[in-house]
């Protein structure tokens, strides 16, 4: 099973402001949809509540310590390990950790593939950050530069990495 993490972060590693995304980048949302559709996405409870609904055409898994947490159209687990065990048993081909900061900080070391959108700007008032990685352990396998336009406020680059160690 490929265990992937998918994230968009700024030059200073900001991923969120006040439980929302720092930007509106429709091009990145399309990339996210294209990449994760027909797969399983795993997210922290705060990211789920920020999105506000299960994302269609994907199995949605929410991680929470609250054993009574329920939301329609999502499967809940009380630990990351329990979610991975379930996906392994279900013989998923690729699963995606989709954030937020707490989940990335615990799941990057479990991942063997990263989809990173580098958003080429500095966000001054960020409240959620992508963790520092040991980049020596990761091999860049593709990079696709996207130029800002009337709908997308910032230049951004879609990068894919595979774990090299
Ligand atoms: N730019 C991007 O690509 C991107 C992607 C996703 C999210 N975001 C942003 O990230 C921010 C949210 O990140 P966040 O760090 O505040 O929250 P989060 O990681 O989405 O969710 C945190 C919650 O997940 C649960 N949790 C975390 N670790 C757990 C564990 N080991 N076992 C069981 N449950 C666990 C807890 O839920 P309970 O409190 O219910 O126990 C915790 O409060 C938002 O601003 C969002 O917009 C950005």
Confidence (pLDDT) at 16? 98
Q: Please identify which residue in the block is written with the tokens 């379930």.
A: 86
What's the DSSP call for residue 136? G
Per DSSP, the residues of 78-101 read SSHHHHHHHHHHTT-SEEEE---H
Residue ranges for the chain with pLDDT beneath 50 = none
Query: Ligand 1 within 6 A of 78 CB?
Result: yes
Confidence (pLDDT) at 145? 98
Q: Whose CA is nearest to atom 25 of ligand 1?
A: 64
Residues 33/115, Cβ–Cβ less than 8 Å: no
* The domain made up of 2-163 is a member of CATH 3.40.50.1820: no
Query: Ligand 1 within 6 A of 13 CB?
Result: no
Indicate the domain borders of the chain: 2-163
Confidence (pLDDT) at 165? 73
Q: Please identify which residue in the block is written with the tokens 């530069």.
A: 145
Query: Ligand 1 within 6 A of 65 CB?
Result: yes
Q: Whose CA is nearest to atom 48 of ligand 1?
A: 15
Cα dist. 83→78, 90, 94, 118 in Å? Answer: 8, 11, 13, 27
């Amino acid at each position: 099973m490929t265990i992937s993490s998918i994230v968009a972060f700024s030059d200073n590693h900001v991923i969120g402001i006040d439980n929302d995304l720092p930007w509106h980048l429709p091009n990145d949302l399309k990339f996210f949809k294209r990449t994760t559709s027909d797969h399983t996405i795993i997210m922290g409870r705060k990211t789920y509540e920020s999105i506000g609904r299960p994302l269609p055409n994907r199995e949605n898994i929410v991680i929470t310590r609250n054993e009574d947490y329920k939301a329609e159209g999502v499967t809940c687990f009380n630990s990351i390990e329990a979610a991975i065990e379930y996906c392994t048993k279900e013989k998923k081909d690729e699963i995606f950790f989709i954030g937020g900061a707490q989940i990335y900080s615990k799941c990057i070391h479990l991942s063997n593939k990263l989809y990173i959108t580098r958003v080429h700007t500095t966000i001054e008032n960020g409240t959620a950050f992508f963790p520092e990685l040991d980049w020596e352990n990761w091999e860049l396998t593709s990079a696709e530069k996207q130029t800002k336009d009337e709908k997308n406020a910032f230049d951004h680059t879609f990068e894919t990495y595979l774990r090299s160690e």
